[in-house]
Amino acid sequence: MKTLKNDPPECSLNLLAMRDTLEVLGGKWKLLILHYLITRDDQINTFKKMQREITGISAKMLTKELKDLEENHLVHREQQNTKPITVRYTITEYGRSAGDLIQQLVDWGKTHRIKLLTSGQ
């Protein structure tokens, strides 16, 4: 079956898919959190540690974002048997699937910064 050149169903589908991604991974913090957990998967990343090291995020936002990410199976929450209680957050296998995306964000940002410098802005 043939599709019209300028309004193919594929275009709408792509748009829909993009909106899905932006809904799940969008906002100011989610991708930064995933990046954090991916690059520090060899460590015990507790709530407190994350809040300290992801500069600028408040407890309220970190709670909310981690909850969202957990609901989408991108992050795993595991309560430790410590006193006082600590909670370990880890990236899930599915969460890793955002790795390429994150890497591209990093790459694009680096290139953009260079462009700004060299274009004298």
Partner DNA sequence: CTGTATCCGATTGGATACTG
Partner DNA sequence: CAGTATCCAATCGGATACAG
| Residue ranges binding a second copy (CB under 8 A) | 6, 11, 13-22, 24-26, 28, 31-32, 35-36, 39-40, 42-43, 94, 97-98, 100-102, 104-113, 115
Whether the bond into 84 is cis, omega within 30 of 0: yes
Binding mask 4-43 for DNA (x = CB under 7 A): -----------------------xx---------------
Q: How far is the CB of 83 from a second copy (least distance, A)?
A: 25
| H/E element, 106 | helix 99-118
Q: For residue 91, give the 3-state DSSP assignment.
A: strand
Determine the longest span between alpha carbons in the chain, in angstroms: 65
